[in-house]
Structure 1
């Protein structure tokens, strides 16, 4: 019973500190929370929590603040994150529904998430390494160069120059394009590369064999480029206005290191809790610049048939979901409002999953 009550006291300290950002004392806890015990008992529980590493007392006469361990316990108990209200979800859908393209949806998502949380929002475009081919068009742009315009299942458009020793006839290029689009639609880029090589090596395509090899190389290169995401960020200025710049300087340094940030948030989005949200607190990120920051991330773009993690059994939903094709996340101080941030990140990820799935079925 004592241990159970002690953890209720810890939760109360975390909630109050997140709200006030001031050390929390036993007297205020007793007044603000129905803990059913005296202030002296709460004070003893807080001392025990400090001994166990969940709280720390910054000054001798001050109250206590949570440590990373304290935040981690609190966040783990939020694993079954409460979804946003119906009104909030309608607001998100209304704001994002005007998106005219995937890029527009990602930009809007970053802006909306930063407004909800007051923190830095980061949204990644789908990686080409996880995309499947929808369509390719090859257009001559110079004497020895073709431009391959590649459209993926998520609506992303990539361009790649193809060097050719001699330019084949237009109808030969069109015939190769037709064969590639017919045989490669729905395949991953790496599988498409193999298929294009086979097409180029088959009878009847001798005059475009060099083009086929160049296109196959382009597909293979795209498939290997895990860093081919574009990052959309929003909210840095908002965060700067609400916190000390001295405290945030390392965080802004981390935002500049986009490759490091992308790897961290991508890994988090694939190593999620039962609600499908990954949370890294302080030193858990193994990134010195994020020592005093927390990162919340979730993957999006799985399949349209995935169950909604906000409904039913969240643990089952997480197990059923496939590998995410990209991530959406929020970065802020360790005393961020975890409940709101986790719910908002998940809601935006859910919307983007539906958006990407809808685009897949439009073609």
Structure 2
């Protein structure tokens, strides 16, 4: 039924106009409102018939008798995939984003500015997820021994961004051994990610175990899968919490509390955005995000991966109300991801 309802170009255009009008006004859309702006000369009766077909197809619903129509999740999904995906960023937004992100010198500054831009264009959350430890590029490593035998590992990435983790190695290390291990990693593996370091060390140990048994084996202890697969090691920067709470209708206070908890905990955001990296589209749109919150049916997520030296490093995006300006938000996410990638590759 849904496919048949959208087969005609006229039906598709009317549906797109309804979604766009509802996004702009927030009010149920009448046939008269569509007829005034429609490129063809159609009577309100004809448009009402099309709207009824679209309602039967699951794209619209009528809040109450005699009211106009409101888009469903299927309508938003159609609009994002078929209409907004063809949009190009406006000159105004392009110049504004360039000004907002220009001049950032460090990864932290780039991340903060990107989050701010994304929050502004979506009236919701701007989210930037940094790579998990396995994807972290090493520029310099430091290690300190704690009195209880645990080890503090600090990884410094290009641009001065630091990641730290407290580990409990399978055997006891002295501070001298830790200094030697860090020096070995810094001398041989600066510019590598932890997962590629681990793969190379395993290969070397398999080929020349006697030569690499000591210091390389120690280094491998700090690149084990338990460290690399820890998803919580991903870091997430969030902007715009007040905006999303203010723009989405949360009559159910339990849903609001659940959403605020998800934003505060962040791990649900990390899991979802990391999963979106694998999506085939350059900009991925998810209408309804129950994975994040009980209020997820009122939310939409638009995300894109960002790169550093042609390698995917993480993801960024917007989480906002389903009634968000998809054309603007999708083009902005794509452009911010591009500028973010370019900036990271320069530091």
Q: If the length of structure 2 is used for normalisation, what is the TM-score?
A: 0.82
**Deviation digits for residues 216-257 of structure 1 (CA, Å, limit 9, x no counterpart):** 222224322233111111112123334444268625523523
Q: Does 1:297 align with 2:303?
A: yes
> What does residue range 296-335 of structure 1 map to in structure 2 within 5 Å?
296-303=302-309, 324-335=312-323
Q: For structure 1, list consecutive stretches of 5 or more residues without a partner in the other structure.
A: 305-321
Q: Considering Cα pairs closer than 8 Å and 6+ residues apart, tell me whether 1 or 2 has the greater RCO.
A: 2
> What does residue range 83-232 of structure 1 map to in structure 2 within 5 Å?
83-138=88-143, 147-153=152-158, 155-160=160-165, 165=172, 167=174, 176-193=181-198, 195=200, 202=210, 209=215, 213-220=217-224, 221-232=226-237
Q: Does 1:349 align with 2:342?
A: no
Measure, in 2, the Cα distance between the counterparts of 1:103 and 1:129: 19
Q: What's the secondary structure of 1:227's corresponding residue?
A: helix
Q: Is the 8 A contact 2:185 2:219 kept in 1?
A: no
Bigger Cα displacement from structure 2, 341-350 vs 192-201: 192-201
Q: Is the 8 A contact 1:147 1:161 kept in 2?
A: yes
Q: 2:42 — aligned with what?
A: 37
Q: Does 1:51 align with 2:59?
A: no
Measure, in 2, the Cα distance between the counterparts of 1:51 and 1:181: 64
Measure, in 2, the Cα distance between the counterparts of 1:27 and 1:86: 32
Change (3 A) 1:153 1:24: same
Q: Does 1:277 align with 2:283?
A: yes
Q: If the length of structure 1 is used for normalisation, what is the TM-score?
A: 0.79
Q: Is the 8 A contact 1:193 1:217 kept in 2?
A: no
Measure, in 2, the Cα distance between the counterparts of 1:148 and 1:349: 30
Measure, in 1, the Cα distance between the counterparts of 2:318 and 2:305: 12
Bigger Cα displacement from structure 2, 13-22 vs 182-191: 182-191
Residues matched between the structures, number: 333
Q: 1:316 — aligned with what?
A: none
Q: What's the secondary structure of 1:298's corresponding residue?
A: strand
Measure, in 1, the Cα distance between the counterparts of 2:255 and 2:57: 29
Q: What's the secondary structure of 1:345's corresponding residue?
A: helix
**Deviation digits for residues 134-154 of structure 1 (CA, Å, limit 9, x no counterpart):** 222345676967644322357
- The offset of 1:8, in angstroms, is 1.0
Q: 2:3 — aligned with what?
A: none
- The offset of 1:58, in angstroms, is 1.1
- The offset of 1:346, in angstroms, is 1.4
Q: Is the 8 A contact 1:127 1:226 kept in 2?
A: yes
- The offset of 1:17, in angstroms, is 0.6
Measure, in 2, the Cα distance between the counterparts of 1:106 and 1:349: 11
Measure, in 2, the Cα distance between the counterparts of 1:354 and 1:272: 21
Q: Is the 8 A contact 2:114 2:336 kept in 1?
A: yes
Measure, in 2, the Cα distance between the counterparts of 1:190 and 1:289: 36
**Deviation digits for residues 62-97 of structure 1 (CA, Å, limit 9, x no counterpart):** 011111111111111136443323442232222222
Q: Is the 8 A contact 2:59 2:72 kept in 1?
A: yes
Q: Is the 8 A contact 1:297 1:327 kept in 2?
A: yes
Q: Is the 8 A contact 2:248 2:321 kept in 1?
A: no
